[in-house]
Amino acid sequence: MKVADAAGCFGASSVFLFGSALVPFLGPALGILTPLPFLFYGSKLGIQEGLKVSAVTIGLLAFISYLTGSLQLIFLAVEFCCLGLIISLLYTKGFTIGYTISWSTVLVLLLGLTALTFIGLSRGVSPFELIQMHIRESLNEAALLYEQWGVEGSQGLEIQGHLRTVTNAVLRVYLSLLVIGTGFVVWCNVLVSKPLFRLAGVDYPDFGPLDRWHSPERLVWGLIGSGFSLFLPVGFIQLIAINVLIVLMAVYLFHGLSILVFFLNKLQIPVWVRAGIYFLIIFQQVLLIVLALAGLFDQWIDFRRIHTKKGEPNH
């Protein structure tokens, strides 16, 4: 292990991790890329050397977090470190981008669930109860913030009512939001790592043209099954169905996004116009629905006329 590699991993991860907590507005974007240094050095040096560099980095980050009183960042650092190393390991397996993102998401969620289980056992609660407690505490802090801003009387009671409604809604779909959020972090790091790897001369998997990606056709049966399950008069089944439905629609959203990118590339749309289109999609939720529906119906319409032949990988 070279000192330069350890210093590089520690410096980059520090910027992303502490920047997520200290930098206004851009902080969340920096936090999303925290796994990138671990992914880069795990791929550049190999898993064994990457583990050594990561261990030194985590130790230094934990020490700084302890000194600054930001102990919650230690858990995030370990989680992002594991995620980066998991992606770097999957890069060596020759998987498609769909499998790489899916398995990375599943494995890091299992690690996180295991950690929460041990933490919950030490407090005498289940991991899901621990998550619920965290959500309620976060929303209660938001309510206190409104009170500090001088919101009083009937308006304050109305806000508290809205917060209770939001809390119940978030608790109902939290699992799906967790899966989608983790998958989005993986997706961002996979995409950003491509130009970084090429610039540094590190091998990057050949995922093929990403604007031709499409979701597996069999997913539609999960969508149909979860949709019909919403009408069953069993609360637990409905809860599972709504979470599965949300996750699958997120997959079809990325399918639709790949269709959009395909036509933007085909028409050679300038970068500044593309940026405007992406910006509009973010702030106009109806366009997200349109993209998800485009991804769903692409299995029958084949907008790009590129569906793979039978027997070839399609995700």
Residue ranges covered by each domain of the chain: 209-315
For the chain, helix, strand, coil in percent to 5 are 80, 0, 20
pLDDT at 314 over 60: no
What is the pTM (predicted TM-score) of this model? Answer: 0.86
7: helix, coil or strand? helix
Count CA atoms within 13 Å of residue 150 on its CB side: 0
Q: Is 210 exposed, middle or buried (0-12, 13-18, 19+ CB in 10 A)?
A: middle
CA distance 111 to 105: 10
Alpha carbon separation from 102 to 27, 120, 210 (Å, rounded): 26, 26, 15
Average pLDDT over residues 92-115: 92
CA 242 centroid distance within chain: 19
More confident residue, 163 or 305: 305
Percent of the chain scoring above 70 in pLDDT: 88
Written as one string, the DSSP assignment of 138-191 is: HHHHHHHHHHHTT--HHHHHHHHHHHHHHHHHHHHHHHHHHHHHHHHHHHHHHH
pLDDT at 254 over 50: yes
CA distance 222 to 246: 11
Q: Which residues contact 220 (CB under 8 A, 6 or more apart)?
A: 296, 299
More confident residue, 70 or 213: 213
- Residue type at 65? S
CB 298 within 8 A of CB 255: yes
pLDDT at 295 over 90: yes
- Residue type at 97? I
14: helix, coil or strand? helix
